[in-house]
């Protein structure tokens, strides 16, 4: 174990993290890191034909994206150390690396509550809270403040999270951005997999005082949020996401493919072959797999619409039938992680993947809207 490794491991439980050090970040602009790898995709059309789609080479430098990855660490303790494992690196590559085509990418390491801790609570079936979320949040807000001081330079920005990452960014928006001058520079906060509460039938109020739900692709200073479940599978009573337990409140749901509301075809970018378990889903494909790239794109495979069912407000995902070759059913079929084995999770594991292409277009649209407004001033 190197001295640096020992120092990072010790920092898991003691002291503040020094985010002025580049090794406390998974992604930063201009580095050869997990956001800089090959993002080529295999496009599989409805007739079963396929071809390779190369990643966009554009690297816009006038807006920033700040990402907090979801629960990914398999470290043995309740909170992770600052040494990224396959989980942190794999999910950051899958969820966030594609954003490099629309913004500069920043992703800090943080001492998150681990999968190990969450599993202990789930197995025990208790209401005990896993790990120290305040420690995790302290790291995220420290990284955010360091980024603002060192790197932002007055640029507009997008916040991107999922699950635990969204939960921590939700708190950051409430405490550091909502109602403050910096809110004017926020293009959007993309926060799937956590409940952003709004009053019933309203678009603002609840979790945030003045940050509304995004209702158009040219709107800025707003939040995009959803929890995804299969449309033709009834939600179980104890489903975990997209629900409100507060009277008069509902979990916000915004469909990234159609923020105005209604059904829309989605643009998924799926890790392949992700269903084989764990974080192999974002690993380099093995010899013999029918798809040779890390990602697969399947036009027309999925569609989605925000719907309400009792206490739940969620993105209902339909999977197109009749895709040739059986790959579609393997990717988002009945054996998908969290959909069949854990019906209370729905499509939580692939909340981001099912709309990844839509999110990239949304950020590009927000950037265009921002540039038009600032040009007119």
Q: Which two tokens stand for residue 292?
A: 């040779």
Confidence (pTM):
0.91
Give the separation between CA 80 and CA 12, rounded to whole angstroms. 6
Residue-wise pLDDT tens digits, 24-79: 999 999 999 999 988 888 888 887 788 899 877 777 889 999 999 999 998 999 99
| Secondary structure letter of residue 346 according to DSSP | T
Give the separation between CA 283 and CA 262, rounded to whole angstroms. 35
SS3 347: coil
Give the separation between CA 194 and CA 324, rounded to whole angstroms. 35
Q: Which two tokens stand for residue 240?
A: 């975990």
Give the separation between CA 93 and CA 215, rounded to whole angstroms. 28
Q: What is the pLDDT of residue 118?
A: 85
DSSP symbols for 218-263: T--SEEE---EEETTSPPPTT--SSB--STTEEE----TT-TTSS-
Structural domain boundaries in the chain: 3-376
Q: Which two tokens stand for residue 375?
A: 């040009």
Closest listed residue to residue 173, CA positions, set 66, 260, 278: 66
Q: Tokens 């906060």 map to which residue?
A: 189
Omega of the bond leading into 234 within 30 degrees of 0 (cis):
no
Residue-wise pLDDT tens digits, 199-227: 998 999 999 999 999 999 999 999 999 99
């Amino acid at each position: 174990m190197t001295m640096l490794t020992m120092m990072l491991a010790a920092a898991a439980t003691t002291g503040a993290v020094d985010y002025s050090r580049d090794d406390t970040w998974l992604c930063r602009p201009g580095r050869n890191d997990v956001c800089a790898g090959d993002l080529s995709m295999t496009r599989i059309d409805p007739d079963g034909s396929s071809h390779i789609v190369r990643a966009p080479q554009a690297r816009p430098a006038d807006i920033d994206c700040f990402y907090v990855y979801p629960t990914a660490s398999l470290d043995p303790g309740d909170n992770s150390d600052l040494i990224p494992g396959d989980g942190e690196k794999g999910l950051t590559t899958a969820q966030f690396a594609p954003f490099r085509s629309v913004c500069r990418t920043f992703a800090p390491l943080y001492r998150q509550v681990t999968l190990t801790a969450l599993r202990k609570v789930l197995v025990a079936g208790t209401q005990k809270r896993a790990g120290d979320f305040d420690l995790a949040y302290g790291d995220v807000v420290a990284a955010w403040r360091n980024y603002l001081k060192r790197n932002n330079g007055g640029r507009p920005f997008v916040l991107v999270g999922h699950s635990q990452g969204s939960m921590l960014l939700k708190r950051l928006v409430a405490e550091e951005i909502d109602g403050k001058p910096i809110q004017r520079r926020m293009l959007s906060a993309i926060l799937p997999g956590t409940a952003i509460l709004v009053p019933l039938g309203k678009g603002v109020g609840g979790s945030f005082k003045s940050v509304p739900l995004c209702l158009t692709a040219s709107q800025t200073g707003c939040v995009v949020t959803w929890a995804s479940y299969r449309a033709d599978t009834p939600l179980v009573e104890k489903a975990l996401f997209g629900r409100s337990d507060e009277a008069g409140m509902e979990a916000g749901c915004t469909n990234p493919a159609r923020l105005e509301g209604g059904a829309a075809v989605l643009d998924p970018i799926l890790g392949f072959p992700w269903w084989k378990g764990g974080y192999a889903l974002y690993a380099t494909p093995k010899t013999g797999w029918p798809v040779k790239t890390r990602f697969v794109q399947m036009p027309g495979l999925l569609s989605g619409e925000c719907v309400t069912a009792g206490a739940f407000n969620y993105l209902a995902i339909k999977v197109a039938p009749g895709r040739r070759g059986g790959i579609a059913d393997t990717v988002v079929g009945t054996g998908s992680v969290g959909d069949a084995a854990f019906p209370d999770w729905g499509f939580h594991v692939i909340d981001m993947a099912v709309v990844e292409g839509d999110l990239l277009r949304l950020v590009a649209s927000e950037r265009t809207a921002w540039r038009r407004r600032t040009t007119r001033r």
